[in-house]
């Protein structure tokens, strides 16, 4: 008798498969999802952390601190300060005590993990759990991060590669990534929890004839992170060398179960590059850069929790160390030259078997000479069918305030001593946050969720120039009372006490200066009829560009009801200190030019300065290329000509622009103008035309 499938059954099979594929597609938003709201930015890929790995070159967001989009800044300052090229773990197990089943790379390329139907491990979910900021300020779920990325990948029963089909791990990985981006206190770490389940019974139920491993023996997980400190510093200090910071100096902290690093002195040069000191960067003073520490941050990867292993040890790091990568072309990493399955498995067991292994921070052969892979081996575990293990880690970047980084009067030793204190405080906060969720001693769930005290929410705000007094220079910041009704997620009290206004005269990452404090409901700033606050910043200079941020703060609490046994280092007790929301979660990313109300006559129009010398007297990157037309009416049209009468630029000035218009000396054809004399025409409806001239000196 011939085997056949009826037409109706075939339709049913096709329909079921289509529904499955559509369901996966609905839960897989994009290969790369991002945390980019607070101060610490990162991207999360299907089976690993960070963007696609490509010879240590930055290919996207990777633990950027402080985070910013390069398009926000009009001049190249060396790129974004990324601290991660790629990360995650290698994983492997035996199908019997003496037979290795598989070793998989889920940290460098993770090429076996995909949402494609034929992938070895199929991604069934990769999504931002809270869309459009639904959990900002923990409005939806106070027991998770403000931003959460949830990813699930597992054994794919539709994988058909004949020579590899028996080398699949029968597991499902659920990875949940949490970040708190709205708090000035807690924004510089990301927590990942991995739940790894043996799903061999599920696979056999779907296909009883399939050869599937049962119990997983000798299950190892090798954390593998390509950390650097940082890409911006390296690109500026060593532009002729290949990417991948080689002056990164790494250490291991056994008490915190953490590999961490900072920028050290590159051993191949005479100069001391600790913390990325560059005299070619930083604010411009009298046409010259004043210097900047490009790498003031410390980066770390920390084990928060792991299920008891076969030695009945909880939170155990079996081995640690580093693998030195090639400084020319390196597309492989710790497993370079390690080809057999048995040899790869030995690296999982003990990183000392990795290529160019480095055991000590004091190594003089590779450390601070090579790109370095940071390795931590966990396990082994024996995972029975339907059983799971849990591994939780934190990625942390923190250090001194950016105000110190752009002030080279501070010594390198100060950046080290103060930066390490700040960094370790953040490390401990990450552990504290996770420990509210899972008891660190036994791994049991506490019912308190991922939690820590939270600041009040800050409302969105607007910036405009002062329009109520002629020739008065001031920036006006306005906001409403919309967040004052939001309650603290821990005790349901409305604890917003006031607001702080912050200003940066340099970049959208700072340095930030507090320019004012407004207590909630203060009649000097608050219009109760309209529910609107107004703050006038009159300490600005006309024609200068500024970034602004608005934060909210409370006065602390006598105790933290969630966990009365918790102790906060700021108070050395259960009393919660005053908390403030994040500058980075509520800042402007486009600078605002301080101006005055537009003029209603043409006679006072000026070009400032005239003659214009490139780069003199401007603090911000790119601002040295701007020439300013002042005392301009609105609306009007500015046309700029050469002395021969060739039109090089037309600028349309809209109503409400203000009395200052800047030009970056780029023509309508996208080219910089040359040195010389130029003629300007200002045409204003109802006022006539103003003609003048100015000089540019390059």
In sign, the C-alpha dihedral spanning 461, 457, 189, 413 is positive
Same domain membership, residue 632 and residue 654 = yes
What is the per-residue pLDDT across 628-638, written as a single tens digit (0 to 9) for each?
999 999 999 99
Phi, psi of 620 (to 5 degrees): -95, 145
Tell me if the bond preceding 473 is cis, omega within 30° of 0.
no
Asked whether residue 519 is assigned to any structural domain, the reply reads yes
* End-to-end C-alpha distance for the chain, whole angstroms: 90
Whether residues 84 and 153 share a domain: the answer is yes
The reported pLDDT for the residue numbered 75 is 83
Which CATH number fits the domain that encloses residue 682?
2.60.40.4070
Q: CA triplet 193, 198, 203: central angle to 5 degrees?
A: 130
Please check whether residue 626 lies inside any domain of the structure.
Answer: yes
Asked whether residue 283 falls in the same domain as residue 250, the answer is yes
DSSP labels, 482-531:
GGGGPPPTTT------EEEEEEEEEETTEEEEEEEEEETT-TTTEETTTT
> Pick from 242, 224, 203, 18: which is nearest to 103 by CA?
224
Closest CA to 193 of 428, 524, 23, 437: 437
Q: Is residue 633 part of a domain?
A: yes
Sign of CA dihedral 151, 157, 163, 164: positive
**Which of 593, 614, 649 is where one domain is finished?**
593
* 215 lies in some domain: yes
What CA–CA distances, in Å, run from 582 to 402, 493, 501, 549?
14, 20, 12, 9
Do 204 and 265 belong together in one domain? yes
Choose among 374, 438, 426: nearest CA to 398: 426
The pLDDT of residue 173:
98
| 664, part of any domain | yes
Instruction: Judge if 277 and 380 occupy the same domain.
Output: yes
Question: Are 149 and 28 within one domain?
Answer: yes
Q: Are residues 344 and 242 in the same domain?
A: yes
* In a shared domain, residues 239 and 146: yes
- Contact predicate 517/499, CB 8 Å: yes
| CATH code where residue 478 lies | 2.60.40.10
Q: Looking at residue 663, what is its pLDDT?
A: 92
Task: Kindly state whether residue 440 falls inside one of the protein's structural domains.
Answer: no
In a domain, 507, yes or no: yes
The C-alpha atoms of residue 263 and residue 294 are separated, in whole angstroms, by: 9
CA distance 615 to 62: 32
Give the Cα separation of 72 and 590 in Å (integer): 7
pLDDT at 286: 74
**Which of 542, 572, 593 delimits the end of a domain?**
593
On whether both 649 and 572 belong to a single domain, the answer is: no
Mean pLDDT by 10 residues, the chain (698 residues): 45 48 74 96 97 92 96 90 98 95 96 95 97 96 98 95 84 98 94 98 93 95 97 96 96 98 96 93 84 97 98 96 92 91 97 97 97 98 98 98 96 96 98 95 92 98 94 96 96 96 96 98 98 97 94 97 94 97 97 94 91 68 80 96 96 94 92 94 95 92
Residue 54: closest CA among 333, 366, 247 = 333
Same-domain pairing of 610 and 675: yes
**Structural domain span for residue 526:** 461-593
Angle at 563 between CA 558 and CA 569, to 5 degrees: 60
Neighbours of 362 (CB within 10 A): 8
Same domain, yes or no: 375 and 518? no
Is 224 within 8 Å of 325 (Cβ atoms)? no
Residues found in the chain: 698
Within-domain flag for 442: no
CB 503 within 8 A of CB 280: no
* Structure tokens belonging to residue 340: 């057999």
SS3 657: coil
Say if residues 94 and 253 touch (Cβ distance below 8 Å).
no
Domain count, the chain: 3
Query: Which of 563, 593, 623 is the C-terminal boundary of a domain?
Result: 593
Question: Are 564 and 626 in the same domain?
Answer: no
- Give the DSSP letter string of 298-349: EEEEEEEEE---TT--TT-EEEEEEEEPPSS--SS-TTTT--SHHHHHHHHH
């Amino acid at each position: 008798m011939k085997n056949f499938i009826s037409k109706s059954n075939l339709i049913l099979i096709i329909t079921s498969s289509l529904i499955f594929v559509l369901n996966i597609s609905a839960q897989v938003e994009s290969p790369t999802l991002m945390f980019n709201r607070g101060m610490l930015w990162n991207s999360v890929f299907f089976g690993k952390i960070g963007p696609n790995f490509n010879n240590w070159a930055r290919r996207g967001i990777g633990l950027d601190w402080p985070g910013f989009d390069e398009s926000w800044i009009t001049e190249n300052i060396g790129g974004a300060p990324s601290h991660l090229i790629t990360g995650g773990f290698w994983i492997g197990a035996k199908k019997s005590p003496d037979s290795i089943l598989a070793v998989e790379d889920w940290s460098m390329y993770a090429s076996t993990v995909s949402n494609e139907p034929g992938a070895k491990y199929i991604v069934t979910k990769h999504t931002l759990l809270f869309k459009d900021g639904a959990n900002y300020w923990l409005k939806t779920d106070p027991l998770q991060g403000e931003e959460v990325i949830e990813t699930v990948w597992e054994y794919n029963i539709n994988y058909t590669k004949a020579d590899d089909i028996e080398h699949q791990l029968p597991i499902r990985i659920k990875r949940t990534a949490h970040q708190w981006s709205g708090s000035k206190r807690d924004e510089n770490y990301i927590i990942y929890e991995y739940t790894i389940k043996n799903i061999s019974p599920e696979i056999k139920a779907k296909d009883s004839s399939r050869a599937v491993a049962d119990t997983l023996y000798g299950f190892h997980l090798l954390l593998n992170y390509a950390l650097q400190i940082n890409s911006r510093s390296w690109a500026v200090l060593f532009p002729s060398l290949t990417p991948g910071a080689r002056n990164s100096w790494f250490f291991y902290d056994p008490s915190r179960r953490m590999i961490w690093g900072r920028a050290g002195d590159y051993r191949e040069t005479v100069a001391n590059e600790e913390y990325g000191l560059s005299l070619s960067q930083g604010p411009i003073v009298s046409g010259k850069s004043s210097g900047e520490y490009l790498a003031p941050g410390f980066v770390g990867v920390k084990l928060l929790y792991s299920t008891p292993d076969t030695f009945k040890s909880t939170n155990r790091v079996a081995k640690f160390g580093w693998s030195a990568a090639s400084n020319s072309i390196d597309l492989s990493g710790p497993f370079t030259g390690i080809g057999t399955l048995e040899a790869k498995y030995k690296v999982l067991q003990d990183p000392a078997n990795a290529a160019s292994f480095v055991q000590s921070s004091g190594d003089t052969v590779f450390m601070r000479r090579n790109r370095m892979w940071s390795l931590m081996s966990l396990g082994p575990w024996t995972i029975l069918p339907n059983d799971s293990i849990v591994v939780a880690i934190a990625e942390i970047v923190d250090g001194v305030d950016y105000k110190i980084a752009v002030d080279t009067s501070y010594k390198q030793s100060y950046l080290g001593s103060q930066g390490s204190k700040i960094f370790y405080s953040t490390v401990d906060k990450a552990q504290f946050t996770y420990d509210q969720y899972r008891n660190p001693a036994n791994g049991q769930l506490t019912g308190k969720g991922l939690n820590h005290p939270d600041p009040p929410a800050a409302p969105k705000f607007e910036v405009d120039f002062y329009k109520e007094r002629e020739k008065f220079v001031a920036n006006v910041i306005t906001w409403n009372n919309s967040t004052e009704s939001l309650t603290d997620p821990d005790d349901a009290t409305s604890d917003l006490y006031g607001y702080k206004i912050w200003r940066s005269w340099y970049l959208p990452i700072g340095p930030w200066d507090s320019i004012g404090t407004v207590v909630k409901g203060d009649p000097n700033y608050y219009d109760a009829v309209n529910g609107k606050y107004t703050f006038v910043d009159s300490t600005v200079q006309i024609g200068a560009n500024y970034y602004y941020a608005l934060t909210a703060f409370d006065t602390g609490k006598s105790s933290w009801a969630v966990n009365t046994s918790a102790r906060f280092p700021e108070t050395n007790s259960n009393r919660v200190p005053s908390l403030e929301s994040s500058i980075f979660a509520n800042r402007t990313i486009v600078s605002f030019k301080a101006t005055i109300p537009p003029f209603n006559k043409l006679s006072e129009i000026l070009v400032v300065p005239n003659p214009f010398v490139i780069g003199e007297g401007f603090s911000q990157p790119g601002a040295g290329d701007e020439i300013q037309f002042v005392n301009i009416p609105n609306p009007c049209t500015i046309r700029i000509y050469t002395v021969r009468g060739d039109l090089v630029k037309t600028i349309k000035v809209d109503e409400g622009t203000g009395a200052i218009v800047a030009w970056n000396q780029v023509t309508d054809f996208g080219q910089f103008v040359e040195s010389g004399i130029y003629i300007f025409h200002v045409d204003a409806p109802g006022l006539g035309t103003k003609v003048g001239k100015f000089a540019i000196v390059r």
